[in-house]
């Protein structure tokens, strides 16, 4: 029943912490259970339990949905330091235009989040994507749960393709300390610290910090990021725990829209070409978040849990951005903007969890209520045609005209929700899930330029149902159906609110664990449809949208991970995704595939562990393949349309463990130095991928 992640393990295990399912830490029986689960969950690249899908520690094989857990050892082997890189290890996840390189944006099963804030993700079950957060660092991450399909029945607003839940590292009652320094291509320098231990028998702490700075494969683009996360775990009683987490992150990075596709053609400009203005300086984002979580177990069957999250975030800076090429195909018209935005996000929840035995059936119940308040302040100055630059021989430093005030708004969102779910053991082989949630949502937007306020109230009921059949201990067959909703932010060109997006999904799947319990795999097929999708306003596509779209996605996904041979760890994923527009105000878009979403994508990483004298070592390789994609998010005419070519990149990874304290590692990305394009928004905003790069790291544990 516990909702906190607790694991008491030796120092060697702590060096590659494996996120544990929640367990009761007090009492003899709790310690026995903890020991069993620690041993089980320490299998390479595997986690037997997941917390985000049901808000309980539910075995993955009992879930009527596809779930992929990116474990701590998997992320460490892959050399991952940012969320965007971690997500490439999953199936059906595609990079999207990332707002000039300032925050994470991805599509899951073809669906992405609010373009104003980046894609949806959660941290410890609380929404963390509302606001201005910068790129997410993984220094404080214990594991990442990829929850496929709609999660609205538990979490409310969200995309029907799925969501990401990041589980942070938790305090341990056994001391552990580690420092790591890294250096690599383009002057990149990175340092991290991970410190944990007890203050007393009932109070423990954890401190994670990361600092990174460096240049880029892009000319005139530099970034600097700092993050600190501090947490406390208090055993207030034998059946009560209280946790508190603080996270603060700062980012300073040049706003970079990438290069231009010239009449839809790529490859005529080098990947390094910068088309903004270096003198604009960096955009600064800053976020500070607090989370408090309390749980109390009444007995072995009943418990309550409650949590609260508070987060402030902001972004400000000036950017010069491409708009369109003139007829000579070399003179680029650029706009200039100044942003000064800030946001406040507060949310809380209370839940009762219980287990009942009625009529020979076991019911695992969860009943809860939650609410959030989100306030977004936006202020933007903009001049549409500020300057012209030669894309082949750029000359920087042009004097731009003054920027008039174009946007000055205050948007407020309030939501109140009740929900419940019942996981029913119909028999040892059959399991059923029933869930439903009702949301009431209020939205208002004040235009400070003219004093006009518009407001609307919405409500939505989102059910889900799932069925699991387990003919053996290694095989699970499942089916599920669910609905989702997502309020649309902002206003139309006529200053009117948008209706909420509404989605519906169905999924069938097979989960298989090998007899030795060392490898797990999932094969899933699905179909999802969503309407009231925002699409660019044909009369002013750069600044306004209309809710006139409907999109549909269907596909097949396969994920596998674990230890396939002694010492040989494997993670692999494949996705076939058919995501396209089925209705839109622009007839040209109907039948067109969604931008940046490849029909075929796959990844594979193999890592072999072996002895090297008295020391241990690993050597591995990773392959990532992304198929051809549509490049324009919403082209108005055929001339705006273009393709991003498919690509395949190779990486090499290795490590050497010297005794119990020192570990050295090396990561080489894009080994063959392939030229590729990771994402785009339109022909004037195409982000090329990086060339060959390396990173050397040294970790000291004490």
Q: Which two tokens stand for residue 121?
A: 């993700």
Burial class of 328 by CB neighbour count within 10 A (0 to 12, 13 to 18, 19+): exposed
Task: Indicate whether 6 pLDDT > 70.
Answer: no
Task: Indicate whether 394 pLDDT > 80.
Answer: yes
pLDDT tens column, 323-375: 999 999 999 999 999 999 999 999 999 999 999 999 889 999 999 999 999 99
Whats the size of the chain, residue-wise? 702
pLDDT tens column, 573-613: 999 999 999 988 778 889 999 999 999 999 999 999 999 98
Return the bridge partners of 226, or none.
Answer: 211, 250
pLDDT tens column, 141-152: 999 999 999 888
CA dist 536 and 530 (Å) reads 17
Residue 262 near residue 639, CB atoms below 8 Å: no
Where does 218-301 show beta strands of DSSP type E? 223-237, 240-254, 282-297
For the question of whether the overall pTM of this predicted structure is more than 0.85, the answer is yes
Q: pLDDT-based confidence at 30, cuts 50/70/90?
A: very low
Higher pLDDT: 134 or 57? It is 134
CA dist 387 and 321 (Å) reads 10
pLDDT tens column, 146-195: 999 988 888 888 889 999 999 999 999 999 999 999 999 999 999 999 99
Q: pLDDT-based confidence at 139, cuts 50/70/90?
A: very high
CA dist 588 and 595 (Å) reads 14
Nearest-5° angle of CA 357, CA 358, CA 364? 50
Task: Indicate whether 59 pLDDT > 80.
Answer: yes
Domain 11-701 falls under CATH 2.40.170.20: yes
Neighbours of 658 (CB within 10 A): 15
pLDDT given for residue 159 in this prediction: 86
Task: Indicate whether 481 pLDDT > 80.
Answer: yes
Which string of b and e fits 97-120 if b means at least 16 CB within 10 Å?
Answer: bbbbbbbbbbbbbbbbbbbebbbb
Residue 690 near residue 669, CB atoms below 8 Å: yes
Domain ranges within the chain, ordered by starting residue: 11-701
pLDDT given for residue 28 in this prediction: 32
């Amino acid at each position: 029943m516990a909702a906190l992640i607790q694991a008491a393990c030796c120092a060697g295990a702590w060096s590659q912490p494996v996120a544990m399912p929640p367990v009761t830490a007090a009492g003899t029986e709790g310690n026995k259970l903890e020991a069993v689960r620690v041993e089980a969950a320490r299998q390479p690249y595997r986690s037997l339990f997941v917390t985000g899908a049901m808000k309980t520690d539910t075995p993955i094989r009992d879930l009527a949905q596809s779930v992929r857990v990116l474990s701590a050892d998997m992320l460490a082997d892959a050399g991952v330091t940012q969320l965007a890189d971690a997500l490439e290890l999953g199936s059906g996840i595609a990079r999207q235009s990332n707002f000039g390189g300032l925050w994470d944006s991805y599509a899951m099963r073809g669906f992405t989040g609010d373009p104003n804030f980046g894609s949806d993700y959660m941290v410890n079950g609380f929404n963390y994507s509302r606001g201005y957060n910068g790129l997410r660092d993984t220094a404080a991450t214990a594991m990442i749960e990829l929850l496929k399909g709609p999660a609205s029945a538990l979490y409310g607003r969200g995309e029907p393709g799925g969501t990401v839940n990041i589980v942070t590292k938790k305090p341990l009652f056994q001391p552990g300390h580690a420092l790591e320094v890294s250096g690599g291509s383009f002057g990149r320098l990175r340092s991290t610290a991970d410190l944990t231990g007890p203050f007393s028998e009932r109070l423990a702490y954890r401190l994670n910090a990361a600092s990174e700075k460096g240049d880029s494969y892009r000319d005139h683009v530099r970034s600097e990021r700092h993050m600190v996360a501090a947490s406390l775990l208090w055993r207030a009683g034998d059946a009560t725990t209280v946790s508190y987490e603080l996270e603060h992150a700062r980012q300073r990075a040049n706003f970079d829209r990438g290069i231009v596709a010239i009449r839809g053609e790529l490859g005529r400009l080098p990947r390094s070409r910068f088309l903004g203005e270096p003198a604009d300086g960096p955009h600064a984002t800053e976020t500070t978040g607090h989370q408090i979580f309390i749980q109390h177990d009444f007995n072995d069957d009943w418990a309550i849990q409650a949590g609260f999250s508070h987060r402030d975030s902001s972004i400000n800076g000036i950017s010069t951005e491409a708009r369109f090429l003139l007829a000579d195909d070399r003179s680029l018209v650029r706009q200039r903007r100044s942003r000064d935005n800030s946001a406040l996000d507060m949310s809380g929840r209370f839940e009762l969890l219980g287990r009942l035995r009625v009529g020979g059936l076991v019911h695992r119940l969860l009943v809860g209520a939650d609410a959030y308040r989100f306030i977004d302040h936006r202020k933007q100055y903009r001049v549409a045609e500020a300057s012209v630059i030669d894309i082949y021989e750029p000359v920087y430093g042009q004097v731009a005209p003054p920027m008039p005030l174009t946007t000055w708004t205050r948007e407020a969102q309030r939501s109140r929700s009740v929900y419940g779910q019942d996981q029913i053991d119909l028999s040892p082989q059959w399991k059923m899930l029933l869930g439903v949630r009702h949301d009431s949502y209020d939205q208002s937007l004040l235009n400070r330029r003219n004093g006009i306020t518009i407001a609307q109230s919405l409500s939505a009921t989102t059910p889900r149902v799932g069925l699991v059949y387990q003919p053996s201990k290694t095989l699970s067959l499942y089916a599920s159906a669910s609905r989702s909703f997502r309020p649309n932010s902002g206003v139309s060109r006529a200053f009117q609110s948008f209706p909420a997006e509404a989605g519906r999904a169905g999924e069938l799947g097979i989960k298989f664990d090998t007899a030795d319990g060392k490898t797990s795999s999932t094969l899933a097929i699905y179909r999802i449809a969503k309407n009231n999708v925002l699409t660019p306003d044909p009369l002013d596509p750069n600044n306004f949208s209309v809710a006139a779209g409907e999109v549909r996605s269907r596909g097949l996904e396969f994920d596998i991970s674990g230890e396939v041979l002694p010492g040989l760890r494997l993670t692999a994923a494949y996705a076939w995704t058919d995501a396209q527009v089925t209705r839109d105000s622009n007839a040209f878009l109907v039948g067109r595939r969604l931008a940046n979403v490849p029909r075929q994508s796959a990844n594979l990483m193999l890592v072999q562990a072996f002895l090297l004298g008295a020391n241990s070592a690993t050597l591995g390789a990773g392959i990532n393949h992304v198929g051809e994609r549509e490049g324009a998010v919403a082209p108005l005419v055929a001339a705006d349309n273009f393709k991003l070519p498919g690509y395949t990149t190779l990486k090499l990874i290795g490590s050497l463990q010297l005794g119990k304290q020192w570990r050295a590692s090396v990561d080489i990305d894009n080994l063959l130095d392939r030229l590729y394009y990771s994402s785009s928004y339109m022909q004037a905003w195409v982000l090329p991928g990086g060339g060959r790069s390396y990173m050397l790291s040294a970790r000291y544990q004490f």
